[in-house]
Amino acid sequence: MTAQTKLWGGRFAGASSPELSRFSRSDPRYFAMAPYDLHGSRAHVRELNRSGLISDAELTEFINVLDDLSRDFAAGGIEPKEQDEDVHTFLERVLIERMGPDGGKIRAGRSRNDQAANDLRLYMRDKVRTLSALVVELAQALAGQAEQHLHTPVPGFTHLQSAQPVVFGHQLLAHAQPLLRDLHRFQDWDKRAAVSPLGAAALAGSTFALNPEVAARDQGYETSAENSIDAVGSRDAAIEFLFVCSLTLIDISRLCEEIISWASQQFRWIRMDDAYCTGSSIMPQKKNPDIAELARGKAGRVLGDLVGLMAAVKSLPLAYNRDLAEDKNAVIDAVETLEVALPALSGLVRTFTVNVAEVTRQSTAGFTLATEVADWLARQGIPFSEAHDISGALVQYCESHGLDYGDLTDDQLASVDSRLTPAVREVLTIEAALEAHSGFGGTAPARVEEQLTRLRVRLDQVLSWSGHYQGLRVQAAAAS
């Protein structure tokens, strides 16, 4: 940075050291905040006009130039230089180059402290809608598969041991439901984040921008910050945003773990589409679930972003400290990770096929109908504690004689316990077991279909919310 470009230095007699300049310069990724900084600048110059610091004619010129800068930045026509310490320095330099010295009037009544907080908040409020739409896409992919498998039985697990049969659609929607809660967390976060820090200046508020609540509405916020010190010194909005991103990736990671198992030769539940898996450089037969493995790994990294920012903030005095520059690195990394991982995983889920014959065979393996036997006995008036023992004894008998339930004769049933009459066979079918779990939230196909219908309505509501944002939306650059 040089004395001609940096936004500070009037009281310094000498130039900055090269070491300081290198260490102090923003990470190159932070310049992605330019559209949001320009959005805040438009609101700020309107504030300066309301205060009488710039004329109506100057306001028009400022707005026109800021609009031009937005278009030029999006098109790659302007780029930061090595001497630009940060996005604010970069844009003010270009603004003055185009407007002359009067462009420097824009700095009155604001600070990089409130600009930085504002830029990040605008970025997060934009990206929360982009990410929400991508999470909806994954949930819809799960819903699409669930719809095809409302009657496909699979073994449900506890402790990774076959427990009771469920329909595969129910298992898939068990991964969609956490994603729906993540979406609601994003929406709930946005309600608290719809507060503008602009107008807080360095920490005490502005002597020129005296109507920050108006500037807030100009930018798409609901209101402005109640306390100027808090506005520039807090980062709980970024921490909470990172928490929801981290939790979303944790939920995704649990889905990925199951996909990896389902696709294995040991499970043989699903077959991945060739377009969404990779091979081995040495073993020609391999089809690897790389998308699921990569997403599972990245969950840990984004969790690290959250913990890192919390650690950076935990002991900071008020108001602004340069430690807070870590916020952008953490948030941008989380956003970019989700923006890449979610579409890939959605494609993987949408295109895999289910080995229905195999999962049906496995659904009753390991005596998964044992609880149905105990429930049947309980309906005959036998205390469940005793019914549980009888059903366990039946499992033990079958295992010791190499039999399954369907192999048992009437005499063999009675030899375990006289109360095991032939009528018990009514519950020893997969269809009966699934239909019996017909309470709200259960795995009976009709209940799962109702769940699917409700889920889709709620996902549509989230999509509607994400499309009705009044603030700045920045379209991602097309891939070259």
Rounded Cα distance between 216 and 116, Å, is: 15
- 């309980």: which residue's tokens? 378
- In the predicted model, is pLDDT for residue 98 greater than 80? yes
At 479 the pLDDT is 43
Which is it for the CA torsion 261, 264, 269, 271, positive or negative? Answer: positive
Domains in the chain and their CATH numbers?
A: 18-108 (1.10.275.10), 113-149+168-205+223-361 (1.20.200.10), 370-427 (1.10.40.30)
Positions annotated as catalytic residues are 159, 280
Nearest alpha-carbon partner for 232 in 197, 205, 194: 197
Which pLDDT band holds residue 3 (cuts at 50, 70, 90)? very low
At 12 the pLDDT is 74
pLDDT in tens, 440-470: 999 999 999 999 999 999 999 999 999 999 9
Mean model confidence pLDDT for the chain: 95
- In the predicted model, is pLDDT for residue 2 greater than 70? no
- In the predicted model, is pLDDT for residue 22 greater than 80? no
- In the predicted model, is pLDDT for residue 124 greater than 80? yes
pLDDT in tens, 288-304: 999 999 999 999 999 99
Rounded Cα distance between 201 and 110, Å, is: 4
Q: Which of 59-73, 189-203, 318-332, 464-478 has the lowest mean pLDDT?
A: 464-478
Sequence-ordered list of residues with C-beta below 8 angstroms from that of 139, at least 6 positions apart, any chain: 176, 179, 180, 183, 455, 459
SS3 for 264?
coil
At 239 the pLDDT is 98
Rounded Cα distance between 30 and 97, Å, is: 22
User: What is the pTM assigned to this prediction?
Assistant: 0.94
**Distance between start and end Cα atoms, the chain:** 31
Cβ-in-10-Å burial (0-12, 13-18, 19+) of 338 comes to: buried
Sequence-ordered list of residues with C-beta below 8 angstroms from that of 380, at least 6 positions apart, any chain: 419
CB 165 within 8 A of CB 368: yes
Which pLDDT band holds residue 1 (cuts at 50, 70, 90)? very low
CB 145 within 8 A of CB 350: yes
pLDDT in tens, 138-189: 999 999 999 999 999 999 999 999 999 999 999 999 999 999 999 999 999 9
At 5 the pLDDT is 61
pLDDT in tens, 205-260: 999 999 999 999 999 999 999 999 999 999 999 999 999 999 999 999 999 999 99
Please tell me the number of Cα atoms within 13 Å of 376 on its side-chain side. Answer: 20
% of residues, the chain, pLDDT over 90 = 92
- 């995983």: which residue's tokens? 345
% of residues, the chain, pLDDT over 70 = 97
